Amino acid sequence: MTTTDLLRRRARLLGARAPLFYDEPLHIVRGEGVWLYDAAGRRYLDCYNNVPHVGHCHPHVVAALARQAATLNVHTRYLHETILEYGERLTSRFAPSLSMVLFVCTGSEANDQALRIARLHTGATGIICTNTTYHGNTTAVDELATLFHGGAGVAPHVRAVPFPDSYRPLGGLAGAALAAAYAQEVRHAIEAFQADGVGFAGMLVCPIFANEGLPVVPPGFMEQAVRHVREAGGLYIADEVQAGFGRTGRMWGYEIDAVVPDIVTLGKPMGNGHPLAAVVTRADLLEEFRAQVMYFNTFGGNPVSCAVGNAVLDVIDAENLVDNARVVGEYVRAGLRAMQDRHRLIGDVRGHGLWIGAELVCDRETRLPAAGEAHRTINMMKDRGVLMGRIGPHDNVLKIRPPMPFSRGDADLLLATLDEVLGRIERDPQ
Ligand SMILES: Cc1ncc(COP(=O)(O)O)c(C=O)c1O
């Protein structure tokens, strides 16, 4: 089957505009650890995929899945030890107040239920998000997808605030003044809800603002913003779909700012590719929700999913993957910063653990986004066997987010390949 045939069949079935990566799409047939293999047997270093968190097709996870699938798979309305064991293990890794769990299948569903819990608790509907974000694709969550809606929420009960950013700072401010200015935006959004007669339910943000382009958040912003939210009776919902499970070098992204959320949502890495996601929240909030909503999810938290979730936690612990993310992530960032001496295109390097962003700019003074160069970079990297993506409001931030067992040797290959690609692009601007 040629690429042309696959593309034709795909377009007829899924739609011609169904998204695909790269100018010449890849046909991947196998994965192992940090490597992906295409139909021609060519291998690619995966610096993009965070869902195969503990490595593609990790044998311990695959064995746990197969074992439980061969024994029993039903839903959560029967008693089952594995479900409880996983729920207890999972919640034990959070701050003590976050003690209960609601299992779902996708990050979108987790955020959808988080919105329901917050709206039910507050009796209000107003939600604050940022102006460059994505939290999923249900009807309620899509209202917050400002990344695809020109920077604004699409409903009167959604208000988007500028995301906190030290590289292109609001009003040219810095430090404490910048943090206060961004937090003021949250306060103004709350006041605007009140002026519109829309009650305020809470703020839903990714604690590392991953889809926003992984900005350096001015210290103190989160604490002040959440204070404004809570003073107005709202809840802080942290979307840990990108940041969670050790990716940042800490178990949870919210630990970076040490502000404990009221509700946390989980997804992507949780099941290493198996559709497992959850809401973790305070006991009072979940009990209140359960008292009023007969919530049931056919697939969410079934014994196979929970066996997989348990196995993912086993591997994170056994292979010290949280430490690895911190150490190797810092190594990659140091390598990228060193490359700034050779490559004028790299305007800024940032991130946490193995969630790394390198912002490409045409000019370091004006910080004009180099989106075309970022596009060329990821395609040329792919041609040389290294997979990465791009993100941010201008689509000019190289997005490096490999499976967690990524080693220093893998990092060296990534850095050497990027060095060569950026050199070529700088010598041959189009
Ligand atoms: C921060 C964040 N939240 C939620 C989601 C939605 O997750 P899912 O695709 O599993 O519904 C995404 C997906 O990219 C995401 O990046």
**What is the reported pLDDT for 153?**
86
Cα–Cα nearest to 104, from 244, 280, 247: 280
**Amino acid found at 180:** A
Is 135 near ligand 1, meaning CB less than 6 Å away?
A: yes
Q: What is the distance in A from the centroid of ligand 1 to the CA of 176? A: 31
pTM for the whole structure: 0.98
Instruction: Sketch out the chain's domains with CATH numbers.
Output: 3-54+320-427 (3.90.1150.10), 60-318 (3.40.640.10)
Mean pLDDT by 10 residues, the chain (430 residues): 92 96 97 98 98 98 98 95 98 98 98 98 98 97 93 93 97 97 98 96 98 97 98 98 98 98 98 98 98 96 98 98 98 98 98 98 97 98 98 96 98 98 94
- Atom 3 (ligand 1): residue with closest C-alpha? 135
Kindly give the number of the ligand 1 atom that is closest to the alpha carbon of 268. Answer: 10
CB-based contact 269:247 (threshold 8 Å): yes
Give the sheet arrangement for strand 263-266, strand by strand: 98-104, 277-282, 263-266, 235-239, 200-205, 126-130, 158-161
Is 267 near ligand 1, meaning CB less than 6 Å away?
A: yes
Q: What residues does 235 pair with on adjacent strands? A: 202
Tens digits of residue pLDDT in 218-257: 999 999 999 999 999 999 999 999 999 999 999 999 999 9
CA terminus-to-terminus distance, the chain: 34
